[in-house]
Each structure stands twice: as structure tokens, then as C-alpha cells.
Structure 1
Amino acid sequence: MTTNVYLVRHAHSVYTPDELTRPLSEKGLRDAESILTTLKSEKIDDFISSPYRRAIQTIEPLAKYYQTEIKLNKAFQERTLAQGKVKDFNAAITKVWQEPDFAFDGGESNLNAQARGIKGFMSILQTYEDRNIVIGTHGNIMVLIMNYFNAEYGFEFWRKLQMPDIYKMSFSGKELMGIEQVLLKQS
């Protein structure tokens, strides 16, 4: 049997400084409907999400289609880059990817964020074995999880991610069998 985990990077959001309540934009809400169109035939069993509103809203139409609740899990919330705002986001994000054990004040290093994500991910693989699971998440933590299993998923891969984006990871037990992008269908 196979466990399939669909990692769904959230759709475009309206910027607010409050990470927890930042909502999807109008485009993001339309794209969430495309997630439904894309994955409704995949027989999804379970829905898990970062507690951040934009991640929940991205997978919500699909969960409603399946009449299944979304379970919140902090392991899949975005990494904290620093306490407060950084002066130059591009320079800051480049630094943490180049130096995996480096963390800005109040932030998580790549290694710490990855450890958090992997702990949650391994728990999902154990709890939901041989099922199809959708996880609503964020770009950095998603790629850090993928990177744990395959080093080709790194900084350059992260820079090319779309909002939203879907990657299916297939497992036999806890052994990765493959990763593939799931292309969005328009609703």
C-alpha cells in the first residue's frame, strides 16, 4: 500500500503583518477553487493544515467537497525568519539557506524549522499510513520537508515555487518512493 501526501503551498494572500490571520486575496480564493478542481478525483482521506488562515483557506473548498474537517498542526506553519520584520527579505532568506544552522534573533534556522516540520510529517506518515492526505502549508517549510528526503529540493527550487503549488510525495511506510508536481487545473 502507498501513503500519498499532497503538500499544498497556500495561494496568494493579502499582505498583513499578522501571520496567523492573513487572508487569501481574490486571486487566491479563485486559485483555491482550482485546488478543488485539481484534487477532487484523488480520493483524499484526511486534511491537515498550518493554523495560518491563508493555508486553511487554500484547502478549504476541497475539504468541504469531501465533507471532512481540517485538522490544524503547528508543525506545518511557516518558519519564523526573525522576530519582527527583516530589512532585506531576499538577503535574509538567502543567508538562512546558505547557512542552515544560522538563525536571526527570534527566528528559526533551516535545521530547526526542518526538524519541526519533519517531526510533524513523520507523525502523519505513521498515523495516516496507506491514505491520501492533503497538507495546507507554506513555501519554506514545505521545501525544507521535501529537502529532508531529497537534497535537490533546496533554495533554487523554493524560489521557483508558485502560489499555490502542489507536490505529491508517495511513501511505502516511511520510505520515499517519489515526488511529483501536480499541475493545477483551472476551475
Structure 2
Amino acid sequence: MKTHLYLVRHAHSVYTPDEHGRPLSEKGQKDVDKVTEQLINEGIDDVVSSPYLRAVQTVEGIAAAIGKPVHKMEELKERKLMDGSARHFEEAITKLWENPDFSWEGGESNHKARYRGVQGIQTLLEQYQGRRIVAGTHGNIMVLIMNFFHERYDFEFWKKLSMPDIYKLSFENGRLIDCCRVWMDEE
């Protein structure tokens, strides 16, 4: 029995230091309709999301379209980079990918964040076996999860993600058997 997991990277958000409450931008709000259009014919059964507002907002359209609530899941939240904000984000994130055990003060290493994310995916695969689940999440944790299943999903892959983006991961008996991009950016 196959389980299909649609990992949805959130749409563009307005930057604020409040990770939990950061909302989608005007462009991000418009992209919610596009995300819904991409997923509406996939036969989605359930919707879960990171508790962060931008991720929830990105998948609310598909949840409303299928008449289901968005269940929040802590394991899908973005990896914590460090206490405070990074002066040079690109340099900070590069160092984490170069050394998966390294973490900035107050932050999560790649290994720690990936472990958390994969635990969440395994829970979803058990709870929603044989179903089609949309999971609203964030770019870095999404690729760390995907990297657990195949090394080709790496830092370079992360840098090429769009915002939003959607990848369909198909599992059989808890094993990844296929992964394909669903998002078709029209810009």
C-alpha cells in the first residue's frame, strides 16, 4: 500500500524576527491559490503543517478545498539556525551543510534537525498509511528530510527550490520509492 506525502515549502513571506508569526507576503498570498490548484486533483486526504504561520497559510487553501482542518506538527517547523539572526545567512547555512554535526549557538545541526524532521515523517507514514497527505513546511527542513532518503537532495538542491515548491514523495512499507516535483511555477 502506497502512501504519498506532498512536502510543500511555504510561499513567500514578509520577513520579521518572529519565526512563529511571520505571515505570507502579498505575493505569497496569491501563490496559495496556485498551490491549491496544483494539489486539487491529487486526491489529497489530509493536511498537516509546521505550526509556523507562513507554512499553515500556504496549505490552508487545499485544506479548505477538501474540507479538512490543518493539523499542526512541531517536527515540520524550520530548523533553528541560531540564537538571534545571522549577519551573513548564506555563510551561516553553508557552514551547517559543510559539517552536518556543527551547530551555531542555540541552533540545530543538520543531523539534529534532520532527525527531528524524519521522526515526524515516520509518524505521518504510520498514522496516514495508504493516504495522500499534504505537509506544509520550510525549505531547509524539507531538504534535510529528503536528504535522509537520498543524498542527491543536498545543499545545491536546496538553493534551487522555489518559494513555494512542492515535492511528492511516494512510500511503500516506509521506504521511499519515488520522488517528483509537482510545483509548476508559471512565472
Deviations 1:62-112 (A, max 9, x none): 100111001000100000000001121110000000000000000000000
**Residue 101 of structure 1: aligned partner:** 101
Instruction: Work out the CA distance in 2 between the residues paired with 1:160 and 1:41.
Output: 26
Instruction: Work out the CA distance in 2 between the residues paired with 1:110 and 1:143.
Output: 10
Structure 1 vs Structure 2 CA RMSD: 0.9
| 1:36 equivalenced with 2:65 (yes/no) | no
SS of 1:78's partner is coil
Matched letter for residue 49 of structure 2 = S
**Residue 174 of structure 2: aligned partner:** 174
SS of 2:58's partner is helix
SS of 1:47's partner is strand
Instruction: Work out the CA distance in 1 between the residues paired with 2:158 and 2:93.
Output: 11
Instruction: Work out the CA distance in 1 between the residues paired with 2:185 and 2:126.
Output: 30
**Residue 3 of structure 2: aligned partner:** 3
SS of 2:7's partner is strand
Instruction: Work out the CA distance in 2 between the residues paired with 1:93 and 1:136.
Output: 21
Deviations 1:153-176 (A, max 9, x none): 000000010000000000112011
Instruction: Work out the CA distance in 2 between the residues paired with 1:25 and 1:179.
Output: 29
Q: Please report the TM-score for the alignment, with normalisation by the length of structure 1.
A: 0.98
Q: Please report the TM-score for the alignment, with normalisation by the length of structure 2.
A: 0.98
List gaps (5 residues or longer) in structure 1: none
| 1:52 equivalenced with 2:52 (yes/no) | yes
Q: Once the two structures are aligned, what percentage of the paired residues are identical?
A: 52
Instruction: Say if 1:37 and 1:185, in contact at 8 Å, map to a contact too.
Output: no
Matched letter for residue 158 of structure 1 = W
**Residues 102, 185 of structure 1: alpha-carbon distance in 2 compared, 3 angstrom cutoff:** closer
Instruction: Work out the CA distance in 2 between the residues paired with 1:81 and 1:16.
Output: 15
**Residue 69 of structure 2: aligned partner:** 69
Question: Shift of the alpha carbon at 1:144?
Answer: 0.3
List gaps (5 residues or longer) in structure 2: none
Instruction: Work out the CA distance in 2 between the residues paired with 1:37 and 1:176.
Output: 25
Matched letter for residue 141 of structure 2 = I
SS of 1:41's partner is helix
| 1:25 equivalenced with 2:25 (yes/no) | yes
